[in-house]
């Protein structure tokens, strides 16, 4: 099973600041099999990125993804008020599908 470790657990930022979220895999994962989701309280997750760096439909270009091997990153270039939420990475290179533990982006 591929274990995904996200850091930091919580990221406190002012609106307009840059957010850098990390997702580290316990073994190599092809970048085509990494996705990122955003989840707000009381809502279902929302797909942000797939194949590590491809934005899903309707996702603004302030969100970007990168990485390879075991280290992947989601970057929000300038955090907007609606971006404060929990973010999860996911690998889909094999069974079982696994998610990271999440990074909460909160208002400072």
In the complex, which residues of this chain contact other proteins (CB under 8 A)?
1, 35, 37, 39, 44-47, 50, 56-57, 88, 90, 92-102
Q: For the CB of residue 1, give the shortest distance to other proteins in the complex, in Å.
A: 8
Name residues whose C-beta falls within 8 Å of residue 95's C-beta, 6 or more positions apart in sequence.
none
Q: Which is nearer to other proteins, 14 or 95 (CB)?
A: 95
Give the nearer residue to other proteins in terms of CB position, either 18 or 97. Answer: 97
Nearest distance from C-beta of residue 16 to other proteins, angstroms = 28
How many C-alpha atoms does 85 have within 13 Å on its Cβ side? Answer: 20
Residue that has been written with the tokens 């990271």 in this structure: 100
CB of 21 closer than 8 Å to CB of 10 = no
CB of 40 to other proteins, least distance (A): 12
Query: Which residue is it, tokens 């957010």?
Result: 19
**3 state SS of 83:** helix
Query: Smaller CB distance to other proteins: residue 44 or 61?
Result: 44
């Amino acid at each position: 099973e591929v274990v995904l470790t996200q850091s930091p657990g919580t990221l406190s930022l002012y609106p307009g600041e840059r957010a850098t979220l990390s997702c580290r895999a316990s073994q190599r994962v092809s970048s085509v099999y990494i996705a990122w989701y955003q989840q707000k309280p009381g809502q279902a997750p929302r797909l942000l990125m797939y194949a590590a760096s491809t934005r899903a439909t309707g996702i603004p270009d302030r969100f970007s993804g990168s990485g390879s091997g075991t280290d992947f990153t989601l970057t929000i270039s300038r955090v907007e008020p609606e971006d404060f939420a929990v973010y999860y990475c996911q690998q889909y290179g094999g069974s079982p599908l696994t998610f990271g533990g999440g990074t909460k982006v909160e208002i400072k």
